[in-house]
Chain A
Amino acid sequence: MSGSDTQRGNKKPDICLEIRDVVKQFPGVTAVDHVTLEIQEGEIFSFLGPSGCGKSTLLRVVAGLENQDQGDVLIAGQNVNELPPYKRDCNTVFQNHALFPHMTVAENIGFGLVERRLSKIEIKKKVAEKIELVTLGGMEDRRPDQLSGGQRQRVALARALILEPAVLLLDEPLAALDRKLRKEMQIELKRIQREVGTTFLNVTHDQKEALSVSDRIGIMNEGAFLQIGTPDEIYEKPGSIFVASFMGATNIFSGKVVSQKDGKVELETDQGLRVFAPEPENNTSDPVVGFSVHPELIHLKPETSDESPSDPANQTIFHGKINEVFYQGDFSEFTVALKETDMLITVHLTRGRGYRLQMPEGQNVEVSWDCSSNNVLRG
């Protein structure tokens, strides 16, 4: 440990894990396609993507459980390409927990310390510390099959953290838990990370989980990162059609730029609708392919005869008819068919925002939203 500590001190203290141009191929598929990534010390970074996007493979390459075909992996500044998993300064929390069924909770947690040849007294002390960290007091002598899903999760976490790795790798750690427990464990995960300060690299396909636990998220598809950013950047300003739809923006329209002035762009959708959107901050070379708007940012009201004068440069207004209403509990989802075209717009009204409005299916309505809600997508 001391060796890597000094290396961490000498070389780029802020970068904990570096992935340089890594490629991993399986027969017929490129699971990881020229990925380059830097992860800072002490952050929770999530690989988020649909199943089969290569996120687990990339994690396994970092752990050393798969060998990359090309590229370098550096943990705490040390190139680990040639190191077997048991010599790397990282530990993994596996998806199905992978606890040792023939060992007690305490033996599971102390497994790595036995391999480090620590004395029994030291092992006992450290195991006790970790049991306290994951709040499993009194469970020391139980076997994994006597534990609940959440408790097993905690054992897996303690077992991986006890070796004080530079990076903790979490391979869909919460996927096996039910919804309520998952929520609890998300909070626990964050608390534990803040307490120990270890860099967490979390793999997940659950958008909500990624948004709530991560400091930064990398959206992955087909072996490559499409967008990397903080949770609010990823959710509020998705950069591409894939990211927007994956993060749940159901209103995505393809179109092109027709004019550009005063920090605003005017877009025309394929169906001929025109909207204004703020000019995106980072002007990449990729062309604009459309825009998205989140359903919870759209206002909905019954159509009235007296048309108020509107300013299309600030406010986007369309007219339509309610197609369907889905009651969801905390909000209601309306689909509105626009009059001008055959397009559908999804609107979410929460209980605090016009949710009790009597708007039956077939009612003529006006949908409106602020132009700043229009998010430009590039492709």
Chain B
Amino acid sequence: MRAMDEISVSQSQAQKREKRKLALNIAAYLFPIIIIVVVFVFAPLAIILFFSFLKSGPYGQIVYTFTFENIGAILGGGYGKVFLQSIYLALQTNLLCILFGYPIAYYITRFGGKWKTLWIFLIIVPSWSSYLIRLYALKTLVGTKGTINTLLMNLGIISEPIQILYTNFAVTMALVFAWLPFMILPIYAALDGLDRSVLEAATDLGATPFRRFFRVTLPLTRGGLLAGSILVFIPTVGEWLVPSIFGGSKIMMAGSLVAHKFTAVGNIPQGSSLAIMLAATLVLILYLTIKWGGREALEKAL
């Protein structure tokens, strides 16, 4: 027995050496790519992090003095409300995306038949066009003199235009409009990957279609829901284009605050701090989501 164990130990050591050698080899080949990633991804992040501990001079220039002032100002100042509102709007968008996206994905998997791929294609295609152009197209629909108001007034249903733009509703609607495809896709993938015989087994064991959905289909597509939520929620919190087009000056989101600090105010260190805080918040949320939602389910979905 002992001799056998020794053989297996020395074998596993040899295997480990082999593995290390292979890892080194691969790293050598990947070296140029690693350099590019470090320079263009991590370096800007490091610079932002660096800026966030500096001071801003009277003319908007960066003063190279180390300080916690920016972070103190953010934690103590009125920015918390904007952050909370961002998270609230993103949460709301996420829920609405699930509410609209799940039935759509379900319908396509269930009744799409040979057109399934076409339907999914049609859902993806708009997101290939410019984000900005799509948002402006939506704006022409809902503006005071937009298509919807004009139509309703011409039909005599309303006498004066409904104020849709520059409301919370408009921002949420635009966010859902922009991000819905990213919710539909992972849910569709999860639903499409469901083993039909498992659903049949549930029916066979006495579950009505309604009960089956909540006991089997929904739990088994949780990974897709989670993946979709991450894809939608995170970019939504940092959104600044949608609130600036659809919210005007009334609705500020965390992203617009960062943009505001950088462009309008010209306080780069404070903008950097805000950006770092935003990123930190999102990483925390992502971590909690994965921890509670189940890593396995998510890995399966992605």
Query: Residues 200-219 of chain B: 1 if any A CB is under 8 Å from the residue's CB, otherwise 0?
Result: 11111111100100011001
Select the residue from A84, A111, A159 with max chain B CB neighbours within 10 A: A111
- Assess the A65–B204 pair: CB atoms within 8 A: yes
A273 within 8 A of B: no
B302 within 8 A of A: no
A63 within 8 A of B: yes
Q: Nearest Cβ in chain B — how far from A126, in angstroms? A: 13
Closest to A171 in B: B197
Q: Looking at the complex, which one of B205, B215, B219 makes contact with A91 (CB distance below 8 Å)?
A: B205
Closest to B198 in A: A98
Q: Nearest Cβ in chain B — how far from A59, in angstroms? A: 11
Within 8 A of A (CB), among B170-223: 195, 197-198, 200-208, 211, 215-216, 219-220
With A86-B208, A115-B211 known as contacts, the answer to whether A101 contacts B203 (CB < 8 A) is no
Q: Looking at the complex, which one of A65, A116, A159, A160 makes contact with B203 (CB distance below 8 Å)?
A: A65
Q: Looking at the complex, which one of B203, B204, B216 makes contact with A100 (CB distance below 8 Å)?
A: B216
Q: Looking at the complex, which one of A84, A95, A102, A160 makes contact with B205 (CB distance below 8 Å)?
A: A160
Select the residue from B200, B201, B216, B220 with max chain A CB neighbours within 10 A: B201
A67 within 8 A of B: no
Query: Residues 64-98 of chain A: 1 if any B CB is under 8 Å from the residue's CB, otherwise 0?
Result: 01000000000000000000111100011011101
Residues of A within 8 A of B215 (CB): 111, 114
With A98-B195, A100-B216 known as contacts, the answer to whether A116 contacts B206 (CB < 8 A) is yes
- Assess the B206–A92 pair: CB atoms within 8 A: no
Q: A84 vs B203: C-alpha distance in the bound complex, in angstroms?
A: 9
- Assess the B207–A86 pair: CB atoms within 8 A: yes
Closest to B206 in A: A115
Closest 7 CB pairs of A and B: A115-B206, A112-B205, A98-B197, A98-B201, A85-B203, A92-B204, A102-B219
Q: Looking at the complex, which one of B200, B203, B208, B220 makes contact with A102 (CB distance below 8 Å)?
A: B220
A163 within 8 A of B: yes
Query: Residues 100-137 of chain A: 1 if any B CB is under 8 Å from the residue's CB, otherwise 0?
Result: 11100000000110111000000000000000000000
- Assess the A86–B220 pair: CB atoms within 8 A: no
Q: A116 vs B211: C-alpha distance in the bound complex, in angstroms?
A: 12
Residues of B within 8 A of A96 (CB): 195, 197
Residues of B within 8 A of A91 (CB): 204-205
Supply 21 A–B pairs (Cβ within 8 Å), ascending by A: A63-B204, A85-B200, A85-B204, A86-B205, A86-B208, A91-B205, A92-B204, A98-B195, A98-B197, A98-B201, A99-B198, A99-B201, A100-B198, A100-B201, A100-B202, A100-B216, A102-B220, A112-B205, A112-B206, A116-B206, A160-B205
Q: Chain A, interface size: which category?
A: 20 to 34
Beyond A112-B205, A115-B207, 17 extra complex contacts between A and B, CB < 8 Å: A65-B200, A84-B203, A85-B203, A86-B206, A86-B208, A87-B206, A94-B200, A100-B216, A101-B198, A102-B220, A111-B202, A111-B215, A112-B206, A116-B206, A159-B205, A160-B204, A163-B205
Residues of B within 8 A of A94 (CB): 197, 200-201
Residues of B within 8 A of A65 (CB): 200, 203-204
Closest to A91 in B: B204
Q: A160 vs B208: C-alpha distance in the bound complex, in angstroms?
A: 16
Name A's B-contacting residues (CB within 8 A).
63, 65, 84-87, 91-92, 94-96, 98-102, 111-112, 114-116, 159-160, 163
Q: Nearest Cβ in chain A — how far from B225, in angstroms? A: 13
Q: Nearest Cβ in chain B — how far from A242, in angstroms? A: 30
Q: A372 vs B202: C-alpha distance in the bound complex, in angstroms?
A: 52
Q: Nearest Cβ in chain B — how far from A122, in angstroms? A: 15
Q: Nearest Cβ in chain B — how far from A115, in angstroms? A: 4
Q: Looking at the complex, which one of A95, A98, A163 makes contact with B206 (CB distance below 8 Å)?
A: A163
Q: A95 vs B216: C-alpha distance in the bound complex, in angstroms?
A: 19
Q: Nearest Cβ in chain B — how far from A167, in angstroms? A: 12
Residues of B within 8 A of A63 (CB): 204
Q: Nearest Cβ in chain B — how far from A104, in angstroms? A: 13
- Assess the A111–B205 pair: CB atoms within 8 A: yes
Q: A92 vs B205: C-alpha distance in the bound complex, in angstroms?
A: 8
Residues of A within 8 A of B208 (CB): 86
- Assess the B198–A86 pair: CB atoms within 8 A: no
Q: Nearest Cβ in chain A — how far from B121, in angstroms? A: 26
Q: A160 vs B200: C-alpha distance in the bound complex, in angstroms?
A: 12
Closest to A112 in B: B205
Select the residue from A112, A160, A163 with max chain B CB neighbours within 10 A: A112
Q: Nearest Cβ in chain B — how far from A67, in angstroms? A: 13
Residues of B within 8 A of A84 (CB): 203
Q: A92 vs B207: C-alpha distance in the bound complex, in angstroms?
A: 13
With A98-B195, A163-B206 known as contacts, the answer to whether A92 contacts B201 (CB < 8 A) is yes
Within 8 A of A (CB), among B97-149: none
Residues of B within 8 A of A116 (CB): 206
Residues of A within 8 A of B195 (CB): 96, 98
Q: Nearest Cβ in chain B — how far from A275, in angstroms? A: 49
Residues of A within 8 A of B220 (CB): 100-102
Residues of B within 8 A of A102 (CB): 219-220
Select the residue from B206, B211, B220 with max chain A CB neighbours within 10 A: B206
Q: A287 vs B198: C-alpha distance in the bound complex, in angstroms?
A: 47
Residues of A within 8 A of B198 (CB): 98-101
Residues of B within 8 A of A112 (CB): 205-206
Q: A159 vs B203: C-alpha distance in the bound complex, in angstroms?
A: 13
Q: Nearest Cβ in chain A — how far from B214, in angstroms? A: 12
Residues of A within 8 A of B211 (CB): 115
Residues of A within 8 A of B206 (CB): 86-87, 112, 115-116, 163
